[in-house]
A = this chain, B = another copy of it.
Amino acid sequence: MSELTIQEARSIIEDQIEKLKKRNKEPEWMTKLRYKAMDAFFEAPHNDPVIKDPLDYIAKTEEEMYPEVKSLDELPPDMLALLDRLGIAEVEKKYIAGLAVQSDTSIVLNDFLKEWRKKGLIVESMEDAVRNHPILKDLFLKQFNPYESKLAAYHTAVWNGGIFLHVAQGLKVPMPLHLFFLIQNSAMAQAPHIIINAEPNSEIHLIEGCTSPVLVRHSLHLDMTEAYIGDGANVKLSVLQNWPEYVHTRPMTRARIGKNAEFINTTVGLGTGKSNIANPKYWVDEGGYVELNGIILGQKDFYVDLGGEMNLDASGARGLNASKSVIMDRSSVITRGIIRANAPKTKGHISCDALILNSEARMETYPGLVSQVDDAELSHEAAIGKIREEELFYLMSRGLKEEEATQLIVKGFVNPLLKDIPMEFVIEIRKIIEMAVSGGM
Q: Which residues of A contact B (CB under 8 A)?
A: 341, 344, 354, 356-359, 361-386
A sample of 18 inter-chain contacts (CB < 8 A) reads: A344-B359, A356-B376, A359-B375, A363-B371, A364-B368, A364-B370, A366-B367, A366-B368, A367-B367, A369-B384, A376-B384, A378-B382, A378-B385, A379-B382, A379-B383, A379-B385, A380-B381, A381-B381
Across-interface contacts of A385 in B (CB, < 8 A): 375-379
A381 to chain B, nearest CB (A): 5
Across-interface contacts of A362 in B (CB, < 8 A): 370-372
**Interface of chain A, helix or strand or loop or mixed?**
strand
Alpha-carbon gap, A356 to B372, bound state (A): 9
A381 in contact with B384 (CB, 8 Å)? no
Across-interface contacts of A369 in B (CB, < 8 A): 363-366, 382, 384
Cβ 8 A contact of A383, one of B341, B366, B373, B378: B378
Alpha-carbon gap, A356 to B341, bound state (A): 12
Alpha-carbon gap, A365 to B386, bound state (A): 26
Across-interface contacts of A383 in B (CB, < 8 A): 377-379
A356 in contact with B380 (CB, 8 Å)? no
With A362-B372, A372-B362 known as contacts, the answer to whether A377 contacts B367 (CB < 8 A) is no
A361 in contact with B382 (CB, 8 Å)? no
A354 to chain B, nearest CB (A): 8
Can you name the residue of chain B whose Cβ is closest to the Cβ of A354? B371
Cβ 8 A contact of A358, one of B341, B344, B359, B374: B374
Q: How many copies does the complex hold?
A: 2
A209 to chain B, nearest CB (A): 31
Across-interface contacts of A354 in B (CB, < 8 A): 371
Across-interface contacts of A373 in B (CB, < 8 A): 356, 359
Across-interface contacts of A379 in B (CB, < 8 A): 381-385
Can you name the residue of chain B whose Cβ is closest to the Cβ of A350? B382
Across-interface contacts of A367 in B (CB, < 8 A): 366-367, 380, 382
A361 in contact with B374 (CB, 8 Å)? yes
Across-interface contacts of A341 in B (CB, < 8 A): 384
B363 in contact with A366 (CB, 8 Å)? no
Alpha-carbon gap, A344 to B378, bound state (A): 32
Alpha-carbon gap, A376 to B381, bound state (A): 17
B382 in contact with A356 (CB, 8 Å)? no
A374 to chain B, nearest CB (A): 5
A259 to chain B, nearest CB (A): 22
Alpha-carbon gap, A379 to B367, bound state (A): 12
A2 to chain B, nearest CB (A): 30
Q: Known contacts A357-B374, A375-B386; can you find 8 more A-B pairs with CB under 8 A?
A: A354-B371, A358-B374, A363-B369, A365-B368, A374-B386, A376-B386, A377-B384, A378-B382
Cβ 8 A contact of A384, one of B357, B361, B371, B386: B371
A300 to chain B, nearest CB (A): 16
Nearest 8 CB-CB pairs, A to B? A378-B384, A379-B383, A377-B385, A381-B381, A364-B370, A366-B368, A356-B374, A359-B374
